[in-house]
Structure 1
């Protein structure tokens, strides 16, 4: 058994398969999930697991060179915006409709049980060297 980190086998494996410039979406329970990307659906009940803990766990495992969130998060969900801005200094904001279009090109979608609006981010993988 692993000593720690992400213990969900499907998620740990999916993250390990990501390479430089691959993108993944960490999303709330309401974001439409496009056909195509691998999906790891962690949602159990509304709010469980939350977006923040899932994002934090993923950020402990990945090198991120770019992050994109919906511009609407600033006004509609200031707590989520504060989390994103503090943890992802390379954060770019785009209209929500554009975020949904970009999500279709992701290699992986990680769906949380988060039930607050605009709790979504697209992460582009970097390299540790």
Structure 2
């Protein structure tokens, strides 16, 4: 469910068509995208756009009620994992809504992406920089 204006037409359309509990994945440059899932490829060069910039842009449009992360993210890339959790905590404060955080194995995460309406690929080259957003409601 949309909240604000987003320049990228594919992303804006994706968010506008989400229903409650629908999922989208935002991923690093290396995550495999299932053939059956829509791919929105934003990657230009390594690092552009960043994972956090993409997460922030989508959060400007999308109400979320939960996120799913790979367990390996915190151990392998603790700095980026911490930044993501800070962004999520800020989103909770802005929306006054609790956001559930679920951790699963990376293998389970890759399988879970098949349920996403779309996978948004960034230029991020930090290992395990992937998140599944679960759509919430704005009311």
Q: Which has the higher helix share?
A: 2
Kindly report structure 1 stretches of 4+ aligned residues shifted beyond 3 Å.
none
> TM-score of the superposition, structure 1-length normalised?
0.92
What whole-Å deviation, never above 9, does each CA across 1:107-128 have from its counterpart, x for those lacking one?
1111000011000000110101
The answer to whether residue 121 in structure 2 is matched with residue 116 in structure 1 is no
Query: How many angstroms does 1:15 deviate by?
Result: 1.4
SS in structure 2 at match of 1:128: coil
Partner of 2:94: none
Distance 2:122 2:5 in 1: 17
CA root-mean-square deviation: 1.3
The answer to whether residue 117 in structure 2 is matched with residue 107 in structure 1 is yes
What whole-Å deviation, never above 9, does each CA across 1:36-86 have from its counterpart, x for those lacking one?
222110000111001000001111111111100111011111122112222
Distance 2:132 2:80 in 1: 14
Query: What runs of 5+ residues in structure 2 fail to find an aligned partner?
Result: 89-98
SS in structure 1 at match of 2:13: helix
SS in structure 2 at match of 1:87: helix
Query: What runs of 5+ residues in structure 1 fail to find an aligned partner?
Result: none
Aligned length: 126
Distance 1:49 1:26 in 2: 11
Partner of 2:135: 125
Distance 2:55 2:28 in 1: 11
Partner of 2:95: none
